[in-house]
Amino acid sequence: MAEFNTMRTAAGTRSAAIDEGLRAHMNKVYGTMSVGMFLTFLVAWAVGSSPELLSIFRDPMTLQPNILGWIIMFAPLGMIFAFGAAINRLSAAGAQLFFYAFAAVMGLSLSWIFVAFTGMSIAQVFLVTSISFAGLSLWGYTTKKDISGWGSFLIMGVIGLVVASILNIFIGSGALAFGITILGLLIFAGLTAYDTQNIKVTYLQHAHTGDSEWLGKAAIMGALNLYMDFINMFMFLLQLMGNRE
């Protein structure tokens, strides 16, 4: 009996340690994401509020991108692929630095919204996005339902959105743009819940290894995924709800 009680106490101690580690891991994920978000909107506001800086990338009147603007527009996508390819060779500190550089470049690509939309409109949409994101992420974290099967369908949906968005740059169809916006909102809402659960499950599967370097990089990757979910939800909602200047 004494041996059983000792084993039960040890198991309880390990469980408590894992729970505490999971909370710390999720706090790091959300904290890193929040810093990246702040950096993105700071850069976007600084450039978007300065016609001189904005003119480097876009025409301040028509907001049409120049060659450098097109490069900046697609640079975040290229950086995501580069990040995924280089993550195993980076240290946790290097991965975090890369994420913040990515967030700054994303800010450059989004700077035009501070000219196209009113400041109040941007603030309202940001608030709506924050509330929606928090609810979806909380559900993904607490639900007992296994939603891992959503992943392949959601990723296919993202690929379809990217292709349709690039196609619509040349077509300029308002109906297609509206359809992309609605589908995009649904897809990234699903990804928010999916990514949150995946971050939690991944930690629980690897917590016993004690590899702090790997877990640190996993937290950065988790922050990147949730960051992208938030940014895309924000942009789609801005297209729907935003008041243009």
At 5-35, the pLDDT tens digits run: 444 544 445 555 567 888 899 999 999 999 9
179-204 average pLDDT score: 94
pLDDT over threshold 80, residue 209: no
**Helix residue ranges, H only, 49-173:** 51-54, 67-86, 92-110, 113-116, 119-142, 150-171
Range of the domain at 217: 2-241
Entry pTM: 0.87
3-state secondary structure of 117: strand
pLDDT digits (tens, 9 = 90+) for 120-140: 999 999 999 999 999 999 999
Split into its structural domains, the chain has a count of 1
